[in-house]
Structure 1
């Protein structure tokens, strides 16, 4: 798969799925629901699921069901529904391993300056989606993208996911979307992570899921190329990031509204 495949229509594309793979049946159910919705609305779709969560506030936080087991679940989703898959990688050594199972390698925001990680991802030949660090300006993302391109891979996407605002909040500066687009790469808005509220007191991240629709509408209005959303059948029992995920039952209604906005533009 190439970026051109995601931009084959005038619609935005979507990266969506659970925060982390909790099991095969759960992943297949969520993928099935989203595939049906995106096919109906004509939205190019990439299933998202982390095979492991490396960035946790507390040692006892859930990190995954095991790397190989989770990656095999991702491959099962890919083969069952014939859709591309995106997952996060956290170290250079993970790049080649994950690339055997997925189509897009995602660089977490906190790691977007890690040269060895970016170069290793580039060398797989897969699409590399780099999340903007919460501490970086939009323009500074050109240096992260340049590392991938100079390593021989021009299949790069950039993702806005909010900027640190004080100690326990994030804010989306929508000016950054067109600014990053001038770099020549598709820009994605990570709707749900932009609504995180990092908690340094309890060690459990909070969020504002009631604003998911607001943030998504604004992103489409300013012309973002793609959207990233984490969704779960019941966020209240999700094993990671439940506080800012979209309840799966709400996805079709939201995407229908967003497609209408896109059509107007």
Structure 2
């Protein structure tokens, strides 16, 4: 037991074991990208785990050389130790109540960058394609930062699945694609044109989280207002006036605005206006 505790007391050892329990076997590069860890630290940790018969290093092919890592029987048995320590930590150290942000992008560099911007204020989950994002989606995810264009299952398809599943997650679409009128048919809550900035991203996440305090009509009003702001930044006034889809957007916003203004709670209207001013 002492030897087991000594092993998992090292920062990355239990994280690597958990990754292999969930998704193993994995190649070195897959572990490095998933865990956002330096090559040296990962190499040292894997060597230590192999030496202690918790992980197998498996040579899949010689040319090109390909190696995968998977748990041994002893490694799988470590799950009970890790779970026991996690339960103890939740009981005695308190549960992390920070909102959970799922960062989804097929570019590992962008996942790492966005995660580093947010990790002080939020719990971070990472996904590197649409399929992995769907596997990680639960009601515990508060915000999904979603790349619009990914190979395989695209961000737009992931967004549709989120709405079909009626999950409460707020979705921020992050894309280098210049927004067009087609965004009016998409169910996101906010849209950021890449590359974006740390300040912009943190502000938008704070805004969409604040919306959850309001009823569905107020949330719809704020989401549609965000789409209007995006299109106004990209299109000329003349182009907007000529497009029927945009005119329907304006009509719906006026309907919702009249209902928000008629709300008995004056503070709600003030709060909504404050959020709009930041859009």
Structure 1-normalised TM-score? 0.29
| Structure showing greater Rg | 2
Higher fraction of helix = 2
Structure 2-normalised TM-score? 0.28
